Amino acid sequence: MSQTPLREVNTTLQAAAKAHSNEPHVIVNARGSHAMAVGLDGPLHVTVKGSTGYYCAGMNKEATVTVEGSAGPGVAENMMSGVVTIEGDASQYAGATGHGGLLNIKGNASSRCGISMKGIDIVVHGNIGHMSAFMAQKGNLVVLGDAGDALGDSLYEARLFVRGTVKSLGADCIEKEMRPEHIDLLRDLLERAGADAKPEEFKRYGSARKLYNFNIDHAGEY
Amino acid sequence: MEKTPQTMPRQSWTFSNETNAEIRRAAATGIYDIRGGGAKRRVPHFDDLLFLGASMSRYPLEGYRERCETSVTLGTRFAKKPIELKIPITIAGMSFGSLSANAKEALGRGATMAGTSTTTGDGGMTEEERGHSEKLVYQYLPSRYGMNPDDIRRADAIEVVVGQGAKPGGGGMLLGQKITQRVADMRSLPVGIDQRSACRHPDWTGPDDLEIKILELREITGWEKPIYVKIGGARPYYDTALAVKAGADVVVLDGMQGGTAATQDVFIEHVGQPTLACIRPAVQALQDLGMHREVQLVVSGGIRTGADVAKALALGADAVSIGTAALIALGDNDPKWESEYQKLGTTTGAYDDWHEGRDPAGITTQDPELMKRLDPEMAGRRLRNYLNVLTLECQTLARACGHNHVHNLEPEDLCALTMEAAAMAQVPLAGTNWYPGKPGF
Amino acid sequence: MCGIVGLFLKGDDLRPRLGELLSDMLITMTDRGPDSAGIAIYGDAASDGVKITVQSDDPAAAFEGLDAALSEKIGAPVTVKVVDTHAVVSVPESAKDAAVVALEERGLRIMGAGVAMEIYKEVGLPKDVSERFNLRAMGGSHGIGHTRMATESAVTTMGAHPFSTADDQCLVHNGSLSNHNQMRRKLAKKGVFTRSENDTEVGAAYISSRMADGASLREALEGTLEDLDGFFTFVTGTKNGFGVVRDPIACKPAVMAETDDYVAFASEYRAFADLPGIEKARVWEPEPATVYFWER
């Protein structure tokens, strides 16, 4: 990235993805640049060496993107499919509004991880920050470490699994029973993410569904 | 004995019957009033301005012989493929979900026939809409319902919505009645539940972040598509300047009369500035940055007639956008449904419970039976006709002021009927060369 | 709306390179704030008293013979170091107040004062601002830089960050305060006045006012969480210290890095890319509503 303009990097990657070339590409000297490897539409393997800026792998479809470093805000935002792996930590808004695919964060994720997620699977091997899974609609957020304040505030139908402690739950988010189907789902996700943890160690959190239709007795939570 | 004269029963101005009815409604239900549409109170508007016309010092153009151009190009700053429109009037963003699929199709048909663009809304892009809209602007909203890269790539422009005139600083709302299976699937939500969309975008806050978000959107779309930034009429000078600094190709500025599918009445009536008051500060910001006409300004919120269009352009807008007026052209609030409005406890012209999904005209509903009432082809033609009339009226006024292009209309073509309008539009009070705040007096 | 950078050195090895490192960090944040840029740098303590940094739009005329004129006026020795539009005026501590009055009377703008702190800020791109002051050549123990995208107050030198409202104290901010007008009036009643319409200056004045009342820097920063409304990431400097606080919502970006040699702050990771040893640094994001503080 210290030599090649961003436009050229993305044009090359986007064309290769579209051509289903599936060949490996490496971005070196990432230097925290923004919007790297965005809008990929097809199978392709991209490795980013170094830490990224905002929105790396944004709106990804089918491609496999690995960041060998830490990711800036909004990594894999609105991802549709494919796999995005962060070897280090992820900044705020990781996987925001993602519709599908797997976002695998080996380190910690900061605030608003999985905000407004719409079907994506996110596995965080470390901890997550405050306001994570705010208004999360669909998909699964798995956290091997601890969760910060206001987890799952105004949650819709996304499922949250946390192994460590939860500092506080947000409005309308409650602990729920881990049923066999959840254990199976979690086992599969942990395996795909290469996470060393047992599904039985996790607690499940979900929507109490009290905010689904306006009720005067819950007005204080709006 | 003569009767002692009695005082007339006197209603309070402060506690009017309307006010008291709202107090009783609030006391009975415990929830604020939610409705659709824009501000209903009277605020200074384009009606308070008049064109001067040409006579001796300037010469008018001949009506049917001498051309008066109406075309406008939006997105000339950075986009490789700017949007070329035949008329300076676009269709504002209205969501599938708040509107029926037929209504969205009709908007697409009408706009396309008139040579202009239509806009998606807070619910993603439908096939009906894409298929029938030659030029379609894809809104990028905090909720990101149905947001996906394929639709972004098949849009003609992207409009990042920061706010809207009906509720600057407020989020979206769609109540459960309208969340049918199709709407729910498009939004990744369960059927029949209330939607509370966020007021801030999930993955950026503020113009410094927005600049990076715009970079991402351009990288995904190969720098081809214009990026619009839509703001509510709140602090138009600063907000326009910051949209430009963040990299917008086009600024869409929506005044307080702009409509919404549903929000709190208190928000609609008490937040934001009248459209008339928003234009000059926004134009000033563009001029101060040397960007007037480089970054195009689209103004919306209460545009109804060709005169409104011409006045907005004269104050410095490059185009206007219509929402509520387009719905009325399709058949919203039409007197032919009066008996049904009565059953809903309202009347023609006042029906605003769009969120309840029981629209007799079949526009703001997802009810399959009601939807059938709107024939998209016929409604599309009605919209085309209406857009043509707006354009002809605007041209007529421009010619009368001696202009061969509607963009040559200028503030000096106007006078104001009231002190308020003179101050807000910064055009002289009729019969004077003065407006409040004008320096040098 | 802005970009912030800060660097606090733990030891002396990197001291000569402080300006160079900070300049590079500052320039990286140009996109976040193209309107103006500024830096507060804490150099070697002035052996002969207090340094007052002043600015003039017409420096040639304003600084010509300033030392002699000021010395005569306040009856104390004065040295003047001219740096482009700025000048650092050194006076004995006892003569500082008189010197400030005299400098303002001459129409000079006071950027800040202190035993260690100098402040340089101007309208323009960070690269140009850095060059005109030759920031790269400056050494010191710690420094804070800021690039500004103006929201509501004017793009002027006085509207640029950092803001200093007490000796050796400075503050930079990313975000937008929503109760700064009220707070400005409240502070004015206490006799604390600000020089600009800028919301950040109110934040700076709030902190110095609390400290003048006896609060520690930590307490003053904690007070911002209670008394200031809106969105903010603050980075503040004192003679020996460096502090960071984010509002409880914390949606404006902030990232920190720490090694054995330094603590660094930036709005984006990009600003760290060239810091020595960054690949081995501990990098994290400051928590909301939490005060971080380093002191030497």
Q: How confident is the model at residue A220 (pLDDT cuts 50, 70, 90)?
A: low
Please work out, in degrees rounded to the nearest 5, the angle formed at the alpha carbon of residue B402 by the alpha carbons of B396 and B407: 75
Cβ-based burial of B159 (10 A; exposed 0-12, middle 13-18, buried ≥19): buried
Residue B313: pLDDT over 60: yes
Position C137 scores a pLDDT of 94
* Cβ-based contacts of C285 with chain A (< 8 Å): 91-92, 110-111, 129
Other Cβ atoms less than 10 A from the Cβ of B109: the count is: 26
- The one-letter code for the residue type at C186 is K
CATH match of B34-425 with 3.40.50.300: no
Distance CA C28, CA C9 (A): 20
Q: How confident is the model at residue B169 (pLDDT cuts 50, 70, 90)?
A: confident
Q: What pTM, to 2 d.p., does this model score? A: 0.94
DSSP annotation of B406 reads G
Position A216 scores a pLDDT of 63
Residue B441: pLDDT over 70: no
Residue A222: pLDDT over 60: no
- Name all domains of chain A by residue range, CATH numbers in brackets: 6-210 (2.160.20.60)
Position A4 scores a pLDDT of 92
Q: Does B248 touch chain C (CB under 8 A)?
A: no
| B102-123 per-position pLDDT tens digit | 999 999 999 999 999 999 998 8
- For strand C169-177 and strand C241-246, is the pairing parallel, antiparallel, or unpaired? unpaired
* HEC string for B251-296: EEEECCCCCCCCEEHHHHHHCCCCHHHHHHHHHHHHHHCCCECCEE
Cβ-based burial of C107 (10 A; exposed 0-12, middle 13-18, buried ≥19): exposed
Beta strands in A99-166 (DSSP E): 102-105, 118-124, 138-143, 159-162
Q: Which is nearest to C149 in space by CA: C285, C295, C267?
A: C267
CATH number attached to the domain at C45-115: 3.30.70.600
Position A21 scores a pLDDT of 80
Which ranges of chain C have pLDDT less than 70? Answer: 45-47
Q: How confident is the model at residue A1 (pLDDT cuts 50, 70, 90)?
A: confident
Q: Does B289 touch chain C (CB under 8 A)?
A: no
Q: What is the mean pLDDT of chain C?
A: 93
Position C195 scores a pLDDT of 85
Would you list the domain boundaries of chain C? 3-40+124-295, 45-115
Residue B335 and residue B345 in contact, taking contact as beta carbons nearer than 8 Å: no
Among C125, C146, C151, the strongest candidate for a mutation testing the B interface, having the largest count of B CBs within 10 A, is C151
Q: How confident is the model at residue B31 (pLDDT cuts 50, 70, 90)?
A: confident
- The one-letter code for the residue type at B106 is A
Distance CA C53, CA C59 (A): 13
User: Which residues fall within 8 angstroms of residue A5, CB to CB, at 6 or more apart?
Assistant: none
Do the chains contact at C285 and A73, CB–CB below 8 Å? no
Position B42 scores a pLDDT of 95
| B176-220 per-position pLDDT tens digit | 777 889 888 889 888 888 887 789 999 999 999 999 999 999 999
Position B171 scores a pLDDT of 77
Do the chains contact at B242 and C151, CB–CB below 8 Å? yes
List Cβ<8 Å contacts ≥24 apart for A186-194: A186/A140, A186/A142, A186/A161, A189/A102, A189/A121, A189/A123, A189/A140, A189/A142, A190/A123, A190/A142, A192/A102, A192/A104, A192/A121, A192/A123, A193/A102, A193/A104, A193/A123, A193/A125, A193/A142, A194/A104
Q: Given this chain, do its domains C3-40+124-295 and C45-115 carry the same CATH topology?
A: no
* Cβ-based contacts of B241 with chain C (< 8 Å): 150
| A64-96 per-position pLDDT tens digit | 999 999 999 999 999 999 999 999 999 999 999
Q: Which CATH number fits domain C3-40+124-295: 3.40.50.970, 3.40.190.10, 3.60.15.10, 3.60.20.10?
A: 3.60.20.10
Interface of B with A (CB under 8 A): 29-31, 143-144, 147-150, 152-153, 175-176, 187-190, 192-194, 196, 198, 202-204, 209, 212-213, 215-216, 219-223
Q: Could you give the percent of chain B with pLDDT greater than 70?
A: 99
Position B142 scores a pLDDT of 93
CB-nearest to A99 from B29, B143, B148 is B148
